[in-house]
Structure 1
Amino acid sequence: MVDLLNSVMNLVAPPATMVVMAFSWPLLCFISFSERLYNSYFATEDMEDKVVVITGASSAIGEQIAYEYAKRGANLVLVARREQRLRVVSNKARIIGANHVIIIAADVIKEDDCRRFITQAVNYYGRVDHLVNTVSLGHTFYFDEVSDTTVFPHLLDINFWGNVYPTYVALPYLQKTNGRIVVNASVENWLPLPRMSLYSAAKAALVNFYETLRFELNEEVGITIATHGWIGSEMSRGKFMLEEGAEMQWKEEREVSANGGPIEEFAKMIVAGACRGDAYVKFPNWYDVFLLYRVFTPNVLRWTFKLLLSSEGSRRSSLVGVGPAMPVDESSSEMKLMLEGGTPRVTGSPPHYTASPPRYTASPPHYTASPPRYTASPPHYAASPPRYTASPPRFNIQELQ
């Protein structure tokens, strides 16, 4: 009976849904517009003297969000690993209009660091009203070409745990103020894009985590999920960010040419949506069209990506090397690892290798000489080893006791 019901629903539900959406779409758009208009003029949160904690605030989307909150007169807590860069952002935020700014150098994938900067914020200001998680790390490599899997845990830690740990620590304080959590996600959480497998998986997990948390909190704490398509970032502008003492370094070759939108506009939309209490902020909105294709005609997306990939010709390896940090030229045009800020995007035609991807010019380093050995032959018995003249001794119960 259940199988028969599912078979009928498989035939009826998709076309029926499309018909209902076609007739109800104008009404739904009108309701959404009216709600947005009301919230914009009558329900927008006043951020004057409110306390906003922003992770990944040293660059890209996190930096721009800090400036948008500064324009609204908020008190800012800027968190990132690059303290010197945070000082620059802090000074500019004060000039723009922030009442007060404190900076804290911390690593958001470490729970102890998260407890430290949330505790410092509460001790200094006495409260937390908004927590904005913007830390993200993108990649562009084909999964079957990866030669070193040590990068995998770091990618997942940054994109998932780097957003969950601050939320876990700050949640009790946000519940006291009926505050809000803002998370920077990406359209890749539901739109599969080639060369973004681990990034897409982490973002999908992140969005589902916050969707579930929204129900669990029952509006005690608001949650705004921001998703974006192609946007500009420090990485796409050719800047290389490598922390001193970083445990990994890799070079990337971009094979898809695209132009990124301005992150300033996206940051403005995020802050405005968070203050209105919006559940979602999407940039741009038309990306939702792909969601319909994925639900009702998934093969269209698959064929499209196959066509795009075939037009790019043969694939080249993207992940060249992973290992201890090495000196690099920051002015190089080759794309490299972005440790903080927004998701990397491409602004122009990507560089290509004229030949096969670079490899080690010689064998990996070995000992300069043979490992130390005995200077002489190991000592031997001058004669045959002693043997027991009788049966070997045996333990008895008393000896064991």
Structure 2
Amino acid sequence: MQLIHTFLNLVSPPATFFILLFFLPALQAFRFLLSWINYLFTENVAGKVVLITGASSGIGEHIAYEYAKRGAYLALAARRGDRLRIVAETAKEMGSPEVLSVVTDVSKPNDCKNFIDQTFNHFGRLDHVVNNAGMTHFSLLEEVEDITNLRSVMDINFWGTVYTTQFAIPYLRQTKGKIVVMSSATSWFPTPRMSIYNASKAAVSQLFETLRVELGSDVHITLVTPGFVESEMTQGKFIDKKKGKIIVDQMMRDVQVGVYPTEKVESCARTIVNSTLRRERYVTTPAWYGVTYYWKILCPEIIEWSARMLYITKPGESVEESLNKKILDFTGAKNVLYQDSLLDPQIGDYPSQMKAD
């Protein structure tokens, strides 16, 4: 057995070089051709049924509007029924023939099963599932007083996606449907104070990479890895490290987002839906975040050093002393880098009222 491992250690590097040199250019050319074919034959979702979790605000809300403008039937889930009803009414005004709203906590498997069953019983089919529900935290792991307070991050981000997908797969197989799953650029970029969130998104990515193999051509999967996008999270809403309750702290948001430019939520949602209808496997938005993946592979030490320099403070210093926030405050760049909604000191009681184009 040791001889086998020794042999593989010797032949793997040159074999990999050979593949990169001769097969990768051909593969890239094929992918380019396929992307143009998919662009020309974009899926028409008029009359199809799209299920979206976390649809009461942010990316989920605007994905609902993008599908509505294309004439899709919608099934929307979130924990806040009042906000969900407003999104549903707006989606109808924007072109959706019918919208089903179900108050759902995706961290509870029975809620997820009920949502899937209600959708299928009501519409008689299921074509797309958008796993969007998510929550974050902003705290160093060693500062968390009770680590179980952050369990809900994994319960919502990872297990909520698992439950929804597992119950939906039989119906998606029937329609050769699609799954859209919201991971994050933090699944590869080690952003401090978001360790459990980052881990949940990395788990989501690997789960759906595996499901590509298990489901084969029966169900297409689009894996989305956004950067900082206009949403309640970037407005400063997160799980508190002390009591595990949801709070809003925009000073802490400034520490985390800092000098990174945020993307407008409408643009993000449009990119996600367009890419899904073109059967793209991966979507990173804004697109420039994709280069950080290659930075992480090629020079991880530099990535780790820069993240530590921007986020980590010296012993005894408050988080407000982080370089990320100091640069933001000194330059006044917030007015340029942040979307207008992120400058509002209060998170609105209702979703944004987006009008049809």
**2:93 matched to which residue of 1?**
95
Query: Structure 2: how far apart are the matches of 1:10 and 1:304?
Result: 32
- Give 3-state SS (helix, strand or coil) of 1:150's partner: helix
Query: Considering only CA atoms, is the larger Rg found in Structure 1 or Structure 2?
Result: 1
- Give 3-state SS (helix, strand or coil) of 2:284's partner: strand
**2:330 matched to which residue of 1?**
none
Task: Please show how residues 197-346 of structure 1 align to structure 2 within 5 Å.
Answer: 197-237=195-235, 248-250=245-247, 252=249, 253-254=252-253, 255-256=255-256, 257-258=258-259, 259-309=261-311, 315-316=317-318
**1:394 matched to which residue of 2?**
none
Query: Structure 1: how far apart are the matches of 2:301 and 2:238?
Result: 38
Cα gap change, 1:19 to 1:169, in 2 (>3 Å): closer
Query: Structure 1: how far apart are the matches of 2:234 and 2:70?
Result: 29
Cα gap change, 1:192 to 1:20, in 2 (>3 Å): farther
Task: Describe the superposition over 1:144-165 as per-residue Cα deviations: whole angstroms up to 9, x where unpaired.
Answer: 1111223121111011011110
Contact 1:189–1:203 (8 Å) recurs in 2: yes
**2:325 matched to which residue of 1?**
none
Q: 1:130 aligned to 2:128? A: yes
Task: Describe the superposition over 1:317-347 as per-residue Cα deviations: whole angstroms up to 9, x where unpaired.
Answer: 79xxxxxxxxxxxxxxxxxxxxxxxxxxx95
Offset of 1:6 from its aligned partner? 6.8
What amino acid maps onto 1:277 in structure 2?
R
- Give 3-state SS (helix, strand or coil) of 1:194's partner: coil
Query: Structure 2: how far apart are the matches of 1:187 and 1:138?
Result: 14
Q: 1:118 aligned to 2:116? A: yes
What amino acid maps onto 1:183 in structure 2?
V
Offset of 1:4 from its aligned partner? 5.3
Contact 1:260–1:347 (8 Å) recurs in 2: no
Cα gap change, 1:123 to 1:288, in 2 (>3 Å): same
What amino acid maps onto 2:289 in structure 1?
Y
Cα gap change, 1:312 to 1:103, in 2 (>3 Å): farther
Task: Describe the superposition over 1:369-391 as per-residue Cα deviations: whole angstroms up to 9, x where unpaired.
Answer: xxxxxxxxxxxxxxxxxxxxxxx
Unpaired segments ≥5 residues, structure 1: 319-345, 351-401
Contact 1:141–1:317 (8 Å) recurs in 2: no
Query: Structure 1: how far apart are the matches of 2:207 and 2:187?
Result: 12
Contact 2:129–2:179 (8 Å) recurs in 1: yes
Cα gap change, 1:264 to 1:145, in 2 (>3 Å): same
**2:349 matched to which residue of 1?**
none
Cα gap change, 1:66 to 1:249, in 2 (>3 Å): closer
**1:47 matched to which residue of 2?**
45
Q: 1:159 aligned to 2:161? A: no
Query: Structure 1: how far apart are the matches of 2:134 and 2:64?
Result: 16
Contact 2:49–2:123 (8 Å) recurs in 1: yes
What amino acid maps onto 1:65 in structure 2?
I
Query: Structure 2: how far apart are the matches of 1:150 and 1:275?
Result: 39
Q: Percent identity?
A: 40
Contact 2:150–2:244 (8 Å) recurs in 1: no
- Give 3-state SS (helix, strand or coil) of 2:225's partner: strand
What amino acid maps onto 2:305 in structure 1?
W
- Give 3-state SS (helix, strand or coil) of 1:224's partner: strand
Deviates more, 1:155-164 or 1:294-303: 294-303
Task: Describe the superposition over 1:282-315 as per-residue Cα deviations: whole angstroms up to 9, x where unpaired.
Answer: 1133333222232233212122223324678855
RMSD: 3.2
What amino acid maps onto 2:179 in structure 1?
I
Task: Please show how residues 9-88 of structure 1 align to structure 2 within 5 Å.
Answer: 16=17, 20=21, 30-42=29-41, 44-88=42-86
Offset of 1:193 from its aligned partner? 1.1
- Give 3-state SS (helix, strand or coil) of 1:127's partner: coil
Unpaired segments ≥5 residues, structure 2: 321-340, 346-357
Q: 1:185 aligned to 2:187? A: no
Task: Please show how residues 135-146 of structure 1 align to structure 2 within 5 Å.
Answer: 135-146=133-144
Task: Describe the superposition over 1:25-63 as per-residue Cα deviations: whole angstroms up to 9, x where unpaired.
Answer: 6x6655444322211112x21101101111111000100
What amino acid maps onto 1:57 in structure 2?
A
Contact 1:142–1:317 (8 Å) recurs in 2: no
Offset of 1:237 from its aligned partner? 3.2
What amino acid maps onto 2:86 in structure 1?
V
Offset of 1:260 from its aligned partner? 1.2
Query: Structure 2: how far apart are the matches of 1:247 and 1:190?
Result: 25
Deviates more, 1:142-151 or 1:203-212: 142-151
Cα gap change, 1:86 to 1:283, in 2 (>3 Å): same
Query: Structure 2: how far apart are the matches of 1:150 and 1:82?
Result: 24
**1:384 matched to which residue of 2?**
none
**1:342 matched to which residue of 2?**
none
Offset of 1:91 from its aligned partner? 1.0
What amino acid maps onto 1:41 in structure 2?
L
**1:323 matched to which residue of 2?**
none
- Give 3-state SS (helix, strand or coil) of 2:224's partner: strand
Greater fraction helix: 2
Query: Structure 1: how far apart are the matches of 2:102 and 2:163?
Result: 16
What amino acid maps onto 2:98 in structure 1?
H
